[in-house]
Amino acid sequence: MEFCIPHKRELTQEERDLLSFFVKGQPAREAQIDRLKIVARCGCGECPTILFGESFDDEPLTTGYMEIADYWARATNGTLVGVVLFESGGRIAELEAVGWDGDVDGWPPVDALVPTNVAVASLDSPESDR
Ligand SMILES: [Zn+2]
């Protein structure tokens, strides 16, 4: 499976809200959100995972990832979903959804998100998405 496949569009309000939640109180990152475009999605073509650029001509950033937010929640279909935000070289790079006990068909509600390190520290690593 490819790591990611081309997928160019503007962010939805739901995606903006998730990013805003994850970088709240971090002005340098908050300032990036309005400039972000979606340039690729996860190679599975099914899950909501998206990769960002600052123009539709940008290649997705796929190396040098640093995790900047890591949450989980029950999605509306009942699946336990990990939601992880990565940056690369100071740029917001990827918003990843990982299904822990089922397929991910959408982002969980922002108000359901709980920091992973607090809530599920005892769980093993999530399975990769299927
Ligand atoms: Zn995927």
CA–centroid distance, 89 to ligand 1, in Å, is: 23
CA-angle at 14, arms to 56 and 77, nearest 5°: 120
In a domain, 99, yes or no: yes
CA–centroid distance, 31 to ligand 1, in Å, is: 27
CA–centroid distance, 43 to ligand 1, in Å, is: 6
**What pLDDT, on the 0 to 100 scale, is given for residue 110?**
93
Range of the domain at 82: 4-119
> pTM of the predicted model, to two decimals?
0.87
The structural domain count of the chain equals 1
In a domain, 124, yes or no: no
In a domain, 28, yes or no: yes
Give, for all 130 residues of the chain, the pLDDT tens digit: 889 999 999 999 999 999 999 999 999 999 999 999 999 999 999 999 999 999 999 999 999 999 999 999 988 888 899 999 999 999 999 999 999 888 898 999 999 899 987 655 434 444 444 4
Cβ pair 49, 86 in contact under 8 A: no
CA–centroid distance, 90 to ligand 1, in Å, is: 24
**What pLDDT, on the 0 to 100 scale, is given for residue 120?**
52
